[in-house]
Amino acid sequence: MILEDEFIMWILGLREWFFNFSIWLNYGSIFCQGQFNNLDFRYHFEQYYHMNFGSKIKSRGKAFVFWYLMKLAKYRLGHLKADIIGVTGSVGKTSTKDAIYCVLSRRNHVLRNQKSYNTEFGVLLALLEQESGFSSPYLWIETLFQAFKTAFFGKKDYSKIVIEMGVDKPGDMDVLLKIIKPSIGVLTAIKPVHLAEGQFSNLEEILNEKAKMVKRMGKNEWAILNIDDHYLSLLANSLDANVITYGTGEKANIRATDLESSDDGLRFNLSFDDKTFPVHLPNLIGKHHVYVVLPAIAVGFLTGFKWETIKAGLDDFRLPPGRFGLIAGMNKSTIIDASYNASPETMLASLDVLKDMRPKGIGKRIAVLGNMNELGDLTDSEHRKVGMVVPKCAEMLITVGESAKLYAEEAIKGGMDKGLVFSFDDAKIAGEFLKAKIKVGDVILVKGSQNKVRLERLVKEIMAEPEKARELLVRQDGIWDGI
């Protein structure tokens, strides 16, 4: 039951919110986007924020909506009494969360973030099973009303909750931990991302912020760490929580060896508790995806599942759109769609996947690479490092974005035929150009950051069945059309 004084606060808060809402309607402003869902709304929010009118009201409105959703989420969590598994790290969060979900769903009713709803607002909406209202005040009213209904009258039989926790600046994890307190925490990796102005200064800051999730766990809780990651290996012996490590090295508690990746899928040998199992996952390509499935296996074992149950869950697992899905391309080509986002680590892993692919007939390997955003002072050097690798992995290179031109520069220096290197500023235009270059049997890797790149638009141009774009590609909601 809600206490009487708290209920009064709710009513007063709602009254204030509806007063402010009438002003938002007049200004048509976006009051609650901020850094929500890692979308490209920072730009729009900043535009509105820096306007002289309404900024105070928008700030108060956003604070109220957060408070309101927080109260509802806390109320719901208190009644669900479900085990919470938190997933954070610089790369692989969404895929890891979805793999864990598939494993746990074999024996449990599981609630998870939809899409990449991983910021403070995203997590609250995920717990309340709601979509964002984005820029529409009317949709936000509907969202808040439906959130209330879900909190008090929604489904109550979830026994597990898997939550992706996104952190891109100091203090973000503190906010998330006020919302949820995981009893199992997965840390995927610490890599050079979110290093732009106003974010992190170095990798140590990234580690310190993300590690708060497991550092605040007690002796009856579990931290699952990627021991192959240098920074996380240093963390393993400094926690009060129990620790399970995963990786490919000898120190890993759950270890993958003899990795092979091809268009037939991912294969490896799994070692755990003096037992070894051969694993074949035909729906995954790329050796680096072993770091997605290993923590899911760890969570399965912690939950008491037998290997056969865990394997069945992994067989159900499909990578989300834009994360290494194989899509039929025009002229009987194959598209490796990794257009969701990019960092130096994942870019190099993607090129390694392309290198291992074997085009059919006279086909060639084509790398379509976009900017890697939020690298701060490392922007120049990291793009050049990727460019140096391209000639070893592809016969043709297409770049999209200003920073991506550095790939082209370094690839040509590395011996790539200048006549097979092309640079563009716009993804759709690049796609229209690529159409005329695709031959039977080509394998095309598409990889880049989302903000101001949007390589899914290029993928749509070269798909064999563009009418399936909404089903197969990332960012196909109508809200993205004008961004």
| Alpha-carbon gap, residue 306 to 148, rounded angstroms | 38
Q: What is the pLDDT of residues 365-388, one digit of tens each?
A: 999 999 999 999 999 999 999 999
Q: Is residue 371 part of a domain?
A: yes
Domain count, the chain: 2
Please, are residues 163 and 84 in contact by the beta-carbon 8 Å criterion?
Answer: yes
| Alpha-carbon gap, residue 349 to 38, rounded angstroms | 22
Q: What is the pLDDT of residues 42-98, one digit of tens each?
A: 444 444 444 444 566 567 778 889 999 999 999 999 999 899 999 999 999 999 999
Long-range contact pairs involving 54-60 (C-beta distance under 8 Å, separation at least 24):
54/23, 54/24, 54/27, 54/29, 57/20, 57/23, 57/24, 57/31, 58/24, 58/29, 58/30, 58/31, 60/16, 60/20
Tokens 């899905």 — which residue? Answer: 325
Q: What is the pLDDT of residues 226-243, one digit of tens each?
A: 999 999 999 999 999 999
Q: Is residue 147 part of a domain?
A: no
Residues facing 336 on adjacent strands: 326, 445
Q: Is residue 90 part of a domain?
A: yes
- 373, 395: one domain: yes
For β-strands 275-281 and 160-164, DSSP reports them as unpaired
Query: What does the pLDDT read at residue 25?
Result: 43
Is pLDDT of 41 > 90? no
Domain region containing 228: 82-109+157-316
| Alpha-carbon gap, residue 284 to 458, rounded angstroms | 22
Is pLDDT of 32 > 50? no
Is pLDDT of 30 > 60? no
Query: What does the pLDDT read at residue 110?
Result: 97
pLDDT band for 221, please (50, 70, 90 cuts). Answer: very high
Query: What does the pLDDT read at residue 61?
Result: 79
Q: Is residue 311 part of a domain?
A: yes
Q: What is the pLDDT of residues 86-112, one digit of tens each?
A: 999 999 999 999 999 999 999 999 999
Q: Which of 78, 80, 70 is nearest to 10 (CA)?
A: 70
Kind and range of the H or E run holding 72: helix 55-80
Mean pLDDT of 158-171: 96
Query: What does the pLDDT read at residue 135?
Result: 75
Query: What does the pLDDT read at residue 262?
Result: 87
Q: What is the pLDDT of residues 411-462, one digit of tens each?
A: 999 999 999 999 999 999 999 999 999 999 999 999 999 888 999 999 999 9
For β-strands 333-338 and 325-329, DSSP reports them as antiparallel
- 301, 330: one domain: no
Q: Is residue 25 part of a domain?
A: no
Strand order in the sheet with 396-400: 325-329, 333-338, 443-447, 365-370, 396-400, 421-424
User: What's the chain's average pLDDT?
Assistant: 89
Is pLDDT of 35 > 60? no
The CATH number that applies at residue 338 is 3.90.190.20
pTM of the model: 0.83
| Alpha-carbon gap, residue 132 to 34, rounded angstroms | 12
Query: What does the pLDDT read at residue 134?
Result: 78
Q: Average the pLDDT over each of 129-138, 193-202, 338-347, 368-377 and give the range with the smallest value.
A: 129-138
Q: Is residue 22 part of a domain?
A: no
Tokens 């793009």 — which residue? Answer: 383
Q: Is residue 9 part of a domain?
A: no
Mean pLDDT of 346-356: 95
Q: Is residue 308 part of a domain?
A: yes
